[in-house]
Amino acid sequence: MSYISYHWLRNGSVVFEDKAMKPFTCSVCAFVALSFTILLAAPEPAVVQEPGLWTLDVTFEHPQQILLRRSNGTERFWYVIISATNTTDRDIDFYPKCELMTDTFRILPAVAGASPALIEQIKTRHKTKYPFLQSLDQAGNKILQGRDNTKDIAVIWPDFDPNAKALKCFISGLSNETAVVEHPVLKNDDGTPVSVYLRKTLELSYALSGDPAFRSEQKLDYEQKRWVMR
């Protein structure tokens, strides 16, 4: 099984990212027809889900900065709080994947095994609104039915590229909707395209304003929320 995402860059190139490969770029002049075909063929999440498909009810807090003080200095992190509610008629499996991508095409996975001190700082900051806040590692792999079982989850990323002017947060595992497309480059031994499996994914988009030299003063301006297949 292969996973791929593709993104237009500001310099006019298109970048393909594959799990089994490092990111690579293609000149639009050389591959414009291929790129255009890929973009046209990209599937969209279903407007009305078929029987057996589900999507969690999700609300979220916009990304915030936080500093973790260590003996040798401080380390900056960013985090998003999502609240996921299972309104289906059954308990569901929960295996999220969370990535942050900048407009400079840096992709950061969510922090795994975050420092207990960092998690406690975030919990303390939000204890009034989210008294049962958990880190992504603590959330478990099941979400039970009903609003009484809503999970409030802090998704944490390390500080990102200071040259970035925009970013997107991608959170999958909130739906079981999937799609299969053909890999634009990779082939099987028989010459047929490799099948690529996409998941319905929550995308949160932001523009970054302020001087990178004063990182703590920079602000994220919310642009949009949408569901994509990624």
The string of pLDDT tens digits covering residues 204-221 is 999 999 888 888 888 899
**Can you read off the two tokens belonging to residue 111?**
């922090």
Which letter, b or e, does each residue of 96-133 get, where b requires 16 or more Cβ atoms within 10 Å of its Cβ? bebbbbbbebebbebbeebeeebbebbbebbeeebeeb
In a domain, 189, yes or no: yes
Question: Is residue 17 included in any domain, yes or no?
Answer: no
Tell me whether residue 16 is in a domain: no
Q: How many other C-beta atoms can be found within 10 angstroms of the C-beta atom of residue 152?
A: 19
pLDDT at residue 124 tops 70:
yes
Which structural domain range is residue 196 located in?
46-229
Residue type (1 letter), 169:
C
Within-domain flag for 52: yes
| Nearest Cα to Cα of residue 164 among 219, 106, 78, 216 | 106
For residue 31, is it within any domain? no
The answer as to whether 212 is a domain residue is: yes
pLDDT at 2 over 80: no
Would you say residue 2 lies in a domain? no
Domain count, the chain: 1
| 113 pLDDT more than 50 | yes
Residue 131 maps to a domain: yes
Q: What is the pTM of this model?
A: 0.81
The dihedral of CA 77, 110, 224, 82: what is its sign? negative
pLDDT band of residue 93 (cuts 50, 70, 90) is very high
